[in-house]
């Protein structure tokens, strides 16, 4: 056999290696998914669809972020209710207002707002109401005495059962504890007598107080109870209701409901800014408004309704009012109601007297939007709401206008966008200077202020993206693939 020359042997060996005539043994490659992720293109979590209200854009992907609880309800959302959290000056108010303005562009939308924030002697929603040609319903004890707005807890549009439940709630909130059986019986007897005998006009609270102080003998005899016992049992209840009739809350609830409230208007604003937010008047007022709306505004038609409550801790933190609203949320969900609760701190509600009721309401809020919070509060919020760790770590770093959105487990970091047409309605002078990040920009010329804000936004987004990448590397570093 002919011998190959050295050059031919080298050529044959090289070509055999290239074209597979000589097999090589490759060692298995072992690496972590965190290291291997560099091989793949960046990906972002799926959005919520393209039908609904434009909120802004997703920070990671840059895609538009569109949200509508009515479109998502059933398939992606078990409940259409929404919780908005965050400290003052981070953009909660701007989000609420633009969301409502954009929802009202749909033909079949109606919105009620309980406006508990005051600015310059009027409610915070006054500008938007004026823009839409709507007069806010101002609830103010002083104004009520001079022909202002009244809401009657015994309004005939409220069912008899609803009236009695509302009266109990008002009394329990004022007393700070539940009614015992005897006091509850005295209230029931007085209410039954008033509704049965007063038919020529609207019954009012004064009628209930009068019957509690001077019960009718036949009412007691029908229940086989001594009349003096009924009077004694109802005395404390009468004293509590007397505060609504002749005390510091006089005028708002002790007369027929004011005629002319347009329940068909696209936007109804209840201006509560003249009510002391730290008094028992606020939860009592919210309870009365909530029950009144339940029986007059929410109807079995094709309209979708949004009930937005600022300072919602007044509702959630009172076990008696929370029970009323819990029923309202369950009832309203079947009739196209989306409840939006705006709260500064989750600790305001989960650590209060109504912790159990608060947990039930929070459970029904399938959408949660969390603006910037301090690190310790963000961790507590994450535990209560079940947020992923990366989201909890990002919350303290968020700048105004950027929030973590959790829509039934779909978690995104979203930058809220405001149009030039919306800006004068959304940002009042005081609101613009509320946040430290905006206070410096407010003193600059418009273009310069926008540039500063854009730079701050870009920095915040870059920081959020960096934290997300770090989170992926850390969480996946322990996983290996063959």
CATH of the domain at 284: 3.40.50.300
Confidence (pLDDT) at 345: 84
Question: CA-CA distance, 328 to 335, in Å (whole number)?
Answer: 11
Backbone phi and psi for residue 339, each to the nearest 5 degrees, phi listed first: -100, 125
Confidence (pLDDT) at 436: 40
Note whether 144 and 234 are same-domain residues: no
Note whether 156 and 197 are same-domain residues: yes
Confidence (pLDDT) at 202: 92
Between these two residues, 134 and 354, which has the higher pLDDT value? Answer: 134
Q: What is the mean pLDDT of residues 79-92?
A: 91
Note whether 403 and 472 are same-domain residues: yes
Instruction: Flag whether 68 is in a domain.
Output: yes
Q: How many domains does the chain have?
A: 2
Between these two residues, 1 and 369, which has the higher pLDDT value? Answer: 369
Lowest-pLDDT range, 28-37, 93-102, 206-215?
28-37
Note whether 377 and 325 are same-domain residues: yes
Confidence (pLDDT) at 470: 56
At 422, is the pLDDT very low, low, confident or very high (cuts 50, 70, 90)?
A: very high
| Residue 227: strand, helix, or coil | helix
Note whether 361 and 442 are same-domain residues: yes
Confidence (pLDDT) at 351: 66
| Residue 144: strand, helix, or coil | helix
Lowest-pLDDT range, 78-82, 207-211, 218-222, 386-390?
218-222
Residues 223/245, Cβ–Cβ less than 8 Å: no
Question: CA-CA distance, 390 to 405, in Å (whole number)?
Answer: 13
Between these two residues, 117 and 381, which has the higher pLDDT value? Answer: 381
Q: What is the mean pLDDT of residues 25-33?
A: 66
Q: What is the mean pLDDT of residues 273-288?
A: 82
Q: At which of 198, 223, 257 does a domain end?
A: 257
Calculate the average pLDDT of the chain.
81
Instruction: Flag whether 204 is in a domain.
Output: yes
Confidence (pLDDT) at 230: 86
Confidence (pLDDT) at 101: 96
The secondary element (H helix, E strand) that includes residue 368 is strand 365-370
Lowest-pLDDT range, 228-242, 434-448, 451-465?
434-448
At 20, is the pLDDT very low, low, confident or very high (cuts 50, 70, 90)?
A: low
Q: To the nearest whole percent, how much of the chain has pLDDT over 70? A: 77
Note whether 309 and 427 are same-domain residues: yes
Residues 6+ apart with CB under 8 A from 234: 183, 186, 187, 189, 190, 212, 213, 215
Residues 272/282, Cβ–Cβ less than 8 Å: yes
Q: What is the mean pLDDT of residues 6-30?
A: 63
Note whether 159 and 307 are same-domain residues: no
Q: What is the mean pLDDT of residues 71-79?
A: 87
Sign of the dihedral through C-alpha 383, 387, 392, 396: negative
Confidence check: pLDDT of 445 > 50: no
Confidence check: pLDDT of 8 > 80: no
Whole-model pTM: value is: 0.78
Note whether 80 and 227 are same-domain residues: no
Note whether 138 and 156 are same-domain residues: no
Note whether 308 and 198 are same-domain residues: no
Q: Are strands 304-309 and 109-115 parallel, antiparallel or unpaired?
A: parallel
DSSP notation for 328-345: HHHHHHTTTEEEEEEES-
Domain of residue 160, residue span: 151-257
Note whether 310 and 419 are same-domain residues: yes
Q: What is the mean pLDDT of residues 317-333?
A: 82
At 69, is the pLDDT very low, low, confident or very high (cuts 50, 70, 90)?
A: very high
Instruction: Flag whether 1 is in a domain.
Output: no
Lowest-pLDDT range, 8-12, 294-298, 428-432?
428-432
């Amino acid at each position: 056999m002919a011998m190959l020359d050295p050059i031919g042997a080298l050529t044959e060996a090289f070509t055999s290696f290239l074209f597979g005539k000589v097999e090589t043994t490759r060692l298995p490659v072992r690496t972590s998914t965190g290291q291997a992720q560099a091989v793949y293109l960046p990906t972002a979590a799926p959005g919520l669809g393209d039908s609904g209200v434009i909120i802004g854009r997703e920070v990671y992907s840059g895609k538009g972020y569109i949200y509508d609880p009515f479109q998502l309800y059933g398939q992606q959302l078990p409940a259409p209710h929404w919780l908005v959290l965050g400290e003052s000056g981070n953009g909660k108010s701007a989000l609420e207002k633009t969301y409502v303005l954009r929802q009202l562009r749909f033909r079949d939308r109606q919105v009620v707002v309980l406006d508990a924030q005051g600015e310059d002697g009027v409610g915070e929603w006054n500008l938007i109401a004026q823009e839409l040609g709507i007069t806010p319903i101002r609830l103010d004890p002083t104004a009520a005495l001079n022909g202002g707005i009244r809401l009657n807890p015994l309004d005939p549009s409220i069912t008899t059962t609803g009236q009695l439940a509302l009266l109990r709630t008002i009394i329990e909130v004022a007393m700070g504890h539940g009614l015992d059986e005897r006091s509850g019986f005295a209230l029931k007897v007085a209410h039954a007598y008033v509704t049965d005998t007063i038919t020529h006009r609207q019954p009012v609270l004064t009628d209930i107080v009068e019957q509690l102080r001077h019960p009718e003998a036949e009412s007691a005899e029908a229940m086989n109870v001594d009349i003096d016992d009924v009077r004694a049992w109802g005395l404390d209840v009468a004293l509590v209701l007397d505060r609504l009739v002749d005390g510091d809350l006089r005028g708002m609830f002790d007369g027929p409901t004011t005629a002319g409230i347009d329940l068909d208007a696209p936007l109804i604003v209840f201006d509560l800014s003249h009510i002391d937010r730290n008094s028992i008047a606020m939860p009592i007022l919210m309870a009365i408004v909530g029950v009144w709306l339940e029986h007059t505004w929410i109807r079995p038609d094709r309209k979708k309704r949004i009930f937005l409550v600022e300072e919602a801790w007044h509702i959630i933190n009172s076990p008696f009012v929370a029970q009323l609203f819990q029923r309202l949320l369950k009832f309203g969900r079947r009739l196209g109601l989306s409840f939006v609760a705006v709260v500064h701190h989750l600790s305001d509600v989960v650590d209060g007297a109504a912790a159990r009721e608060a947990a039930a309401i929070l459970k029904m809020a399938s959408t949660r939007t969390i603006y910037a919070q301090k690190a310790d509060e963000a961790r507590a919020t994450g535990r209560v709401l079940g947020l992923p760790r990366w989201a909890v770590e990002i919350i303290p770093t968020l700048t105004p206008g950027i929030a973590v959105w959790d829509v039934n487990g779909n978690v995104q970091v979203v930058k809220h966008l405001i149009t030039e047409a919306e800006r004068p309605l959304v940002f009042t002078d005081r609101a613009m200077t509320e946040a430290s990040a905006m206070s410096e920009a407010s003193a600059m010329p418009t273009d310069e202020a926008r540039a500063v804000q854009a730079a701050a936004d870009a920095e915040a987004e870059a920081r959020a993206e960096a934290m997300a990448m770090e989170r992926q590397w850390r969480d996946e570093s322990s996983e290996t693939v063959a």
